Amino acid sequence: MFLFGQAQAFTVNEGMAGVQIEHELKVWQDPSRRLDVHGAEKQRDTGQFHTPKGLLHVLGYSRNAVWFSFRLDNPSPSPISHYLEYTEAQIGGVTLYTRQKGEPWKSQHFNAAQSEYSRPLATVRPIFLQKIQANTQLEVLMRVVYSEEEDMAGPIVSDVRIWGEKEFLRANNREMLLWGAMLGIMLLVSFAALAVFSAARDQTFLFYGLNLITLTLAHLSATGLMPLYLWQGQYSLTLLYILSGFYYICAAQFVRLYLKTSQITPRLDIGLKAIIACGAISSAAALFGFTQFTLLALEMGGAGFLLHIAASLYAVRYRVSGARLFALAWTIYTVSITVTWGLRGFGLIDHTPLSYRYNSVGIVIEILLFSAAMALRVAEINRQKERLEHAYRLQLEREASELEALVMQRTHELDLARRDAEAGNLAKGNFLAHVSHEIRTPLTSILGYVDRLKHDNTLNTAQQQSLSHIADSGDYLLSLIGNVLNVSKLEVGLAQLDESTISIEVLVRQLKSLFEEQAKSKNISFTIHSELQGDFVLDTGKLRQILVNLVGNAIKFTEQGSVRLSLSLEQINGQSCLMAEVIDTGPGIAEADCQKVFAPFEQTWLGKRAGGAGLGLSICKDFAQLMGGSISLKSELGKGADFTVCVPVQSKATGSLTPLYSAETIRLDGQTILIAEDQEINRELLNELLHTAGAEVIACEDGLSALSAWRTAGPIDTVLLDYHMPLMNGMQVSKSLRALHFKGRILLVSAGHSPNQADLAAAGIDQWIEKPFHRTTLFAALAQTVATANQAPELAILDLEQVAQALAYPPEKCIKVAQRGLDRITLLFTQLTEESIFENRQRHAHSAKGIAGQIGANRLSHCLGQLENKPDDPAIRLQAQAEIKAALSQLQKNQSS
């Protein structure tokens, strides 16, 4: 007690701002680390405590428990609250013992492993709040040990400071703000480096980012900040040493990649690899609990930062971009870490705020210099990228030029090959057409005579059977020729859509007439179920060909059971589609063959046994696709086949024809009309109609006769020309008349498609009238009134009321006109089947079409219009024969009624 009473006291006041206790502080080390406060008090009283010598605030590395003794004096008349700070954060445990005279010792304990709320104050370093009563002294003993848990040495300082309450709070907030800013900058730069790595795939940026992250975490752990920032003060030397080892690894690898030491200085590169190994060993040792060994290994590895400086200086010689910045950064960082953790820790320099925080300042400067160096690296990467892109662009341009030349060469070769192929296909098509014509002409006669002989009752059964065989073979040959021609057209791309109006009722009736007898002869059921009514616009010929092929195949392969055709209309993606499904109970098709049967000349073994060329289904598929639809097959062996055809259609509204003008109100008195029509029945019809309206008519049978009549006759007001005529067609006659300065009106009558308006104007034609024409429309055109010239009556088998309305004839006369017209159509159809020249066959069909339309046989007229485009199509010919028979049958009913 005598010694304590004689010791000098440190006077405190409320305005102190981190004032150091220097001469008043006495120190004693306990090697046993076992003495309690009473033992330390006894050692103090016996004079074992002494004032530190030399460097006042650093005791160097020590494993001992160090005791500090001093007194605090409050001479003021009021109590003073103050903060007592031990300024080293990296310390294992600090215990503060205080008492006033006559009182027992009071203790407060700080442990680095404590949570934030278990410490005396939630601060980075050991700080204790004390209150000194007025006019009293406070006796203080402080025990400091580097590690409470392990017997290991560490740096011990003797820096104890006194803070007034307000000054401490202000300084602590300022310090935490600066540390937070430093933490944010380091993490921001590290994440930016990792982002650049993800974009450029340069591992230098990866290890730079990892270097900054591990440096940040290790530094914050060493300064005691990370426990407060991250997890309530769970400070751990093990974590600190593991992070430090990882930092050594990332830093050394970062230097190796940036400076390319493996290329410019292999020996230094080996040293850098040794630093990596040292960092790995340190982290492993810390993980397994050898903390003292880890600390020594880290101190030795820290000397390896000199290798970083040496490598940077070596890279300067090789002009590596950013090498000077690297050398400066590593120099500053090495000096800072040497000052803070080396010289200060070993007691070679004093522990001051500058030496304590010099490492943090060095880290900030290092980051700035490294960031500048990495910016240079980014610029270098961009320049390298631009050089590579430029070289790549030149290479692409060169290769593009070569490729363009090669493409031009190949294009020229392919063009030659295409022309050769087209010429070959054209030659094949011409050959097939010629052969088809040469075969069809005698075959038509053969089939015609066979049909006539089959009705001869004098033939016996054997002869009838022979005739049936001849007819079947002839039909098969005719169908085969048609299929071959269709495939040839599809191959060369000549197949085109020819849309027209089809009546579902007519289609159903035609299919029944074609296949009912054939199904009956095999004792199988053939039914057609249609949910559709009315007219639709699509390629009638191709749809009919598809259904004929599918139904014909179904009946051909079905030996017992039934064949069923279903027709319906569905909406698919907003488009009306006609669905045709053909279902049979035949032998079926294996699943493996379901796609093969749609290829040309491909057949199943049953198909080969039944005969045929294997073209029917191929044509069905190509026709369906050409029409914008599809065909599918579902079948199994022994369970029949189900073919479904889907093609887009357009509904066509039908209605009664309402004349815009009454024919009785239109007169042609005083007009002279020249008619040029090669069909006698049409000439007679026009002559009679125009005479009844008061016109004078000059009728000619061809274009040359019309020109001669115009020259020799008197003034002519109107010329009425048929389009298809021998020698000169209607367009040619009109051009000749206009060349001869004819000023009257010229009307063109045609059963074909409407000519282009530009062609009509070029030929000098004033108006086009479609056959079959309406009497009112014809008279309105002749009288120069506005009328609709393209109205067509509703399709019917034979509409005599339409004829009577159009021509103003009584019913009896309409029947006679219809009889003459049908007789003429029958003769023209016979001539068509016997004609060898393709153009003449088209002309016969055209003439028959015009007559049929004029006598009200609208369905027959529609069918003959298709025959005009395809005079060699067997299916259309069969349809035309059926329509002629239907019209004759309807005429007989009208006559009998």
> How confident is residue 141, by pLDDT bands cut at 50, 70 and 90?
very high
Quick: pLDDT tens for 671-693: 889 999 887 877 887 887 788 88
Three-point CA angle 333, 335, 341, nearest 5°: 95
Q: Answer whether residue 444 shows pLDDT above 90.
A: no
Q: Answer whether residue 889 shows pLDDT above 80.
A: yes
Q: Answer whether residue 852 shows pLDDT above 80.
A: yes
Q: How far apart are CA 800 and CA 854, in angstroms?
A: 10
Between the alpha carbon of residue 228 and those of residues 117, 220, 236, 359, the distances in Å are 10, 10, 12, 20
The predicted model gives 863-880 an average pLDDT of: 83
One-letter identity of residue 326 = F
Q: Answer whether residue 6 shows pLDDT above 60.
A: no
Q: How far apart are CA 524 and CA 598, in angstroms?
A: 26
Q: What is the pLDDT of residue 226?
A: 53
Structure tokens at 85: 């700070």
Reported as type and span, the H/E element at residue 579 is strand 575-584
Q: Answer whether residue 781 shows pLDDT above 70.
A: yes
326 closest CA partner among 337, 302, 310 = 310
Q: What is the pLDDT of residue 71?
A: 92
Q: What is the pLDDT of residue 654?
A: 40
- CA 856 to chain CA mean position, Å: 56
Highest-confidence range of 345-349, 475-479, 764-768, by mean pLDDT? 764-768
Q: What is the pLDDT of residue 628?
A: 85
Percent of the chain predicted with pLDDT > 90: 7
User: Got the DSSP string for 30-75?
Assistant: ETTS---HHHHHHHHHTT--BPPPSSTTEEEEE-SEEEEEEEEEE-
Question: At what angle are helices 616-626 and 461-492 packed, to 10 degrees?
Answer: 40
Quick: pLDDT tens for 294-328: 777 766 666 677 888 888 888 888 888 888 888 88
Residue 217 or residue 612, greater confidence: 217
Q: What is the pLDDT of residue 66?
A: 92
DSSP label of 655: -
Alpha helices in 493-575 (DSSP H): 504-521, 540-557
Q: What is the pLDDT of residue 787?
A: 36
Quick: pLDDT tens for 617-656: 777 888 888 888 888 888 888 788 888 999 998 876 543 3
In this structure, are residues 618 and 487 in contact, taking their beta carbons and an 8 Å threshold?
yes
The predicted model gives 327-347 an average pLDDT of: 76
**Among 15-29, 177-191, 693-707, whose mean pLDDT is lowest?**
177-191
Q: How many residues does the chain have?
A: 897
Q: How far apart are CA 621 and CA 114, in angstroms?
A: 85
Q: Answer whether residue 345 shows pLDDT above 80.
A: no
In this structure, are residues 140 and 69 in contact, taking their beta carbons and an 8 Å threshold?
yes
Average confidence score pLDDT of the chain: 78
Q: What is the pLDDT of residue 776?
A: 64
Q: Answer whether residue 550 shows pLDDT above 80.
A: yes
The predicted model gives 175-193 an average pLDDT of: 79
Quick: pLDDT tens for 793-805: 446 788 777 666 6
Q: What is the pLDDT of residue 719?
A: 93
Q: What is the pLDDT of residue 424?
A: 72
Quick: pLDDT tens for 357-389: 777 777 788 888 888 888 887 788 788 888 888
Quick: pLDDT tens for 252-293: 888 888 888 888 888 888 988 888 888 888 888 888 877 767
Structure tokens at 450: 């066979």
In this structure, are residues 219 and 359 in contact, taking their beta carbons and an 8 Å threshold?
yes
